[in-house]
Chain A
Amino acid sequence: MMRLIESVGRFPREFLAYILDIIGLISIALEATRDLLEPKRRQIFLNLFVRQLYNTGVRALYINGMIAIFIGALLMSRLFDYIPHQVLSQQYGYLFVVIIFRELGPLISGIILIARSATAITSEIGFLRMTREFQVLHGLGISPVFMFLLPVFFSFPISLFLMFIYFDFVCILSAYVFIWLSDPGLSFYTFLFSILNQISWNEIAINAVKALLGGMMIGIISIHFGARDSDSFDDVSQSISDSTTSQLMAFFLINIVLSLLAYTQ
């Protein structure tokens, strides 16, 4: 009986500890930004930040573009065929914004970020912990937070926002190409403006918040699980698995809550 009570009680306690850890990591990341005031340290940070931005954003262009092509070609070109041409300019643009711009673009970009980059960060941090590199940095008077957390903290949200834009753009292009094959008379500008006219500043701001919060949480969670006690590769594998689950939960929750708050009429 006591074991049952103990195991029931353990979950909220561990969950609370996890939330406090995440809050703690965010606060120490913000505190470490003070080091950026020093030009030499800022240069070290910029090198690491650019490296992270390249790994996270630029190297994801291929997979992000491929999925955007599939979605644009299949979903949006099929949808185009079902909409009467008389209402095309309003309805197609509206549906594109509701389906792709508001929901699918952010979700798929976030999933790509988690699958490609966040898992890599968790395993990298786990490996660095195994080889005691945090201790080495501490011995050199350098904060591991500055070297490893800060670049991720800033590059993930920026990468995610750029991935949203890229995804939407490729989706528009691929949808147009497939529609043009059956209807060569459709002008690209007509098609493009039918979509752009439907995108408000409010929607751009909501997407920016999704990228900012989502990217930051994905980055922080990946570091949190990577930096857990790990003495062997088994521990690192377990951390990657736990980290991915937590990131997906957090990212979907952020997206759903923001969409409900912003778009519920």
Chain B
Amino acid sequence: MAVTVKDLRIEFPDKLVFEDVNLSLDDNEIVAIRTRVLDGGTSLLKGIAGFMNNVAGEVEYLGVNLLRNPPAHVLFKVGFVYENHGLISLYNVFQNIGLPLQFHTNFSIEEINERVDGVCRFLGIDEALYFLRPHRLNDVQTRMVNLARALVVEPGLLLIDELEGGMSDEMIRDTMNRLRERQQESPMAIVITTSNPIVMSTADRVFAIEDRKLVQRTDL
């Protein structure tokens, strides 16, 4: 198993959001989590990524529990795609995508540029966007740049929050196919929150959030 989530519990000061969440993912698996408005899908992904403080349980990845002071090199291997914002406003699109490589690796500038350009081409991000700052991008472009930044580090675990908002059916299908294709080149487990039937039909397994737990569904 690439990633194992054990007895995850997420609790805010005034609300218990999740309890007894258990999930195991293989390399190259796509798991979709069907979400509805305000049912905590984003919190679940952030909880799994180790971005939140109020989380109990274990998220084991490469033998490391992400919830207990994850070392930077492991955290760096978990890609997170935000539904909104998620980019650093100081930098343009190209710099945003290359930032984790520049900060964490010893790649030369040429290697970083090549990788960033490669992942942008792979996802169909137009060169005209490369030097735009995040505030110039629309929501879909922002999410695609988020996705590019997550993929550029070749993560072992990719967490995607509601990728499909504002996308046409064709674009959703195309992006999901590209993610599948990417999995063949570089193994990674993908967890994606969604309310879109195309995304759910592409996934290997679909879960729903019911009564603060994850329940596997085959009828969605």
Contacts and interface: CB of A to CB of B under 8 A. Distances in A.
Interface of A: 40-41, 43-44, 48, 51, 127-128, 131-133, 135-142, 147
A135 B72 CA distance: 14
A140 B76 contact: yes
B186 interface: no
B2 interface: no
Nearest to B70: A141
B51 A142 contact: no
B100 A141 contact: yes
Of residues B72, B76, B103, B105, which shows the largest number of chain A Cβ atoms within 10 Å of its Cβ?
Answer: B103
Contact of A133 (B49, B72, B88, B100): B88
B104 interface: yes
B85 A131 contact: yes
A44 B76 CA distance: 17
A113 B102 CA distance: 32
Contact of A139 (B49, B102, B103, B104): B49
Nearest to A137: B88
Contacts of A136: 82, 85-88
B89 A40 contact: no
21 contacts: A40-B102, A40-B105, A40-B106, A41-B103, A51-B90, A127-B89, A128-B89, A131-B89, A132-B85, A133-B85, A133-B88, A136-B87, A137-B88, A139-B49, A139-B80, A140-B99, A141-B73, A141-B75, A141-B76, A141-B104, A147-B88
Interface in B120-134: none
Interface string B104-117: 11100000000000
Interface residues on B, range: 20 to 34
B199 to A, nearest CB: 22
Given A40-B106, A41-B103, A139 B90 contact: no
Interface string B8-32: 0000000000000000000000000
Nearest to A40: B102
Contacts of A138: 51
Interface in B84-101: 85-90, 99-100
Contacts of A44: 102-103
Contacts of A141: 72-73, 75-76, 100, 103-104
Contacts of A142: 99-100, 103
Nearest to B103: A142
Interface of B: 49, 51, 72-73, 75-76, 78, 80, 82, 85-90, 99-100, 102-106
Contacts of A135: 51
Given A128-B89, A139-B51, 8 more contacts: A40-B102, A43-B102, A51-B90, A133-B88, A135-B51, A136-B85, A141-B76, A141-B104
Given A131-B85, A136-B82, A48 B90 contact: yes
Nearest to B87: A136
Contacts of B99: 140, 142
B166 to A, nearest CB: 18
Contacts of B88: 133, 136-137, 147
Contacts of A127: 89
Nearest to A135: B51
Contacts of A133: 85, 88-89
- 6 pairs of A and B residues whose beta carbons are closest in the complex: A141-B72, A141-B75, A141-B76, A131-B85, A140-B100, A139-B80
A19 B105 CA distance: 37
Contacts of A48: 90
A128 B99 CA distance: 17
Contact of B103 (A40, A51, A128, A131): A40
A140 B85 contact: no
Given A40-B102, A41-B103, A44-B103, A139 B75 contact: yes
Nearest to B73: A141
